[in-house]
Amino acid sequence: MISDIKRKKYMKFIIETYGCQMNVADSELIVSILNNAGLTHTENIDDAQIIIFNTCSVRENAEKRVIGRITSEVSRKSHQNNLLVGIVGCMAQRLGEELKKINKKIDFVVGVDQYSLLPEIIEDCLNNNDFISKTTLNQAEIYNDLYPTRSNPLNAFITIMRGCNNFCTYCIVPFTRGRERSRPIKEILSEIELAGQNKSFEVTLLGQNVNSYSFENNDFPDLLQKANEIDSIRRIRFVTSHPKDLSDKLIETMATYEKVCEHIHLPLQSGNNEILNKMNRKYTAEHYLNLINKLRKAMPDIAITTDVIAGFPSETEEQYLDTLNIMKEIQFDFAYMFKYSERTGTKAADFEDSIPETTRLYRLQNLIDQQTEITTAKYKKKIGSIQEVYVECKSKRNSNEMSGKTRDFKITVFDGNESLINQFVKVKIVDAVGWTLKGIKN
Ligand code: 5AD
Ligand code: SF4
């Protein structure tokens, strides 16, 4: 605890979050930890005495971007006495004390399982002016008994498991977030119930691989079935699913239980079996296609989104074309597409890699071009349908319009006023502009 009550009261912190939803959820935990220690959260960096960067290591670009931001913000120290700058998240975990070499003005580096120590660490930094690095991974840490301070009041991100055991050969996450562990089901269910009571009628269950959730004989579909019974919420989403663990039971549960939304994010990564094998993904393109068929048979209107990587080491033109072709065949609603980025310490970093950067970029661009057409067509197909929209906010473009999401995760705007925020409204879709549906209240 920060002992100097007066100082504590006036200390404000800001957290800038990069990367995936897990980091967003972790930042919400950190806000609660620091609030409980008597510090105050601010959204205004000029007000902050503590700046925390919650970082991502998944690709080199993500790291470079945050290093640029850190460099730019530590310069505030020249005119702001006692300003603390700390790094948390995957980069903190991966680089630890090395971050101090990258920028010697950084005050603390705290890894993903050490956030409970943040108040003490901040106190020590203030008292001793010393650099502190705490990055031990702790398999036991699941941040139970800590209710996150939600950044989005309408959709509660609820972490159901931490870490990853899959060791896809390109991926740094198993190294930065440690081994997989599931939170107790009772804890999760009470967090869902509380979120609903706090008027977050939509919850998103989070984990690196939610399909392998397991707690005392409860698997992920069991968790969904129990969550579906909670009266205070109306919608349940989840990310991310791994194709190797997506069971028939999960598909049946999604189709049967009303609150579970018709959307699945199912990273494909590649459409070529040899590359999938080199990636250690443990499924084939045929298995993936079979899953898509089963999902669409059970839920004809399900939205399917994915992640793919262009230019994995040794990927040939033919192998990349397999990815392009399977994406055309599947017709994803949306895809996050990345060019391969080498991550030191992963297995793939040791693979022979002779693909020129220009080839990687060209493959990525082709994937993006094709998917943009598919996504546009998918959105246009919704014209004429009636969708349930969970209204979140005013539209950014037009203040007479409200914006929200359909059950299948498509942003939808329609004429309306702020009294509709946090309500479920039936909207008839009349147009699709870019990746936004436009509608009228039905
Ligand atoms: N290079 C490029 N993309 C990566 N991803 C993970 N690691 C890498 C990497 N080294 C992508 C995967 C994953 C998503 C979150 O990020 O597609 O599903
Ligand atoms: Fe990374 Fe694979 Fe784990 Fe996803 S499942 S976090 S891609 S190792």
Instruction: Choose the residue to mutate in 22, 170, 171, 268 for probing ligand 2, maximizing ligand atoms within 8 Å of C-beta.
Output: 171
| Cβ(308) – ligand 2 distance below 6 Å | no
CA of 200 to the centre of ligand 2 (A): 28
What pLDDT does residue 9 have?
58
CA of 149 to the centre of ligand 1 (A): 28
pLDDT bracket for residue 129 (50, 70, 90): confident
| Cβ(268) – ligand 1 distance below 6 Å | no
CA of 236 to the centre of ligand 2 (A): 22
Rounded Cα distance between 132 and 6, Å, is 24
Instruction: Choose the residue to mutate in 23, 176, 208, 343 for probing ligand 2, maximizing ligand atoms within 8 Å of C-beta.
Output: 208
What's the pTM value of the predicted model, to 2 decimals? 0.95
| Percent over 70 (pLDDT), the chain | 98
pLDDT bracket for residue 3 (50, 70, 90): low
CA of 58 to the centre of ligand 2 (A): 10
Is pLDDT above 80 for 2?
no
Q: Which ligand is nearest to the CA of 342?
A: 1
Tell me which of 3-17, 57-71, 224-238, 245-259 is least confident.
3-17
Tokens coding 286? 């045929």
**CA angle (347, 353, 358) in 5-degree steps:** 130
In one-letter notation, the amino acid at residue 333 is D
| Cβ(23) – ligand 1 distance below 6 Å | no
Helix (H, G, I), strand (E, B) or coil at 371: helix
CA of 164 to the centre of ligand 2 (A): 6
H-helix or E-strand spanning residue 161: strand 161-162
Q: Tell me: the pLDDT tens digits for 47-91?
A: 999 999 999 999 999 999 999 999 999 999 999 988 999 999 999
- Which residue minimizes the CA distance to atom 1 of ligand 2? 171
CA of 336 to the centre of ligand 1 (A): 9
Q: What is the dihedral of CA 345, 348, 353, 356, to 10 degrees?
A: -90
Our separate counts of H helices and E strands in the chain read: 14, 21
What pLDDT does residue 145 have?
82
In one-letter notation, the amino acid at residue 67 is I
Phi/psi at 265 (5° precision): -100, 115
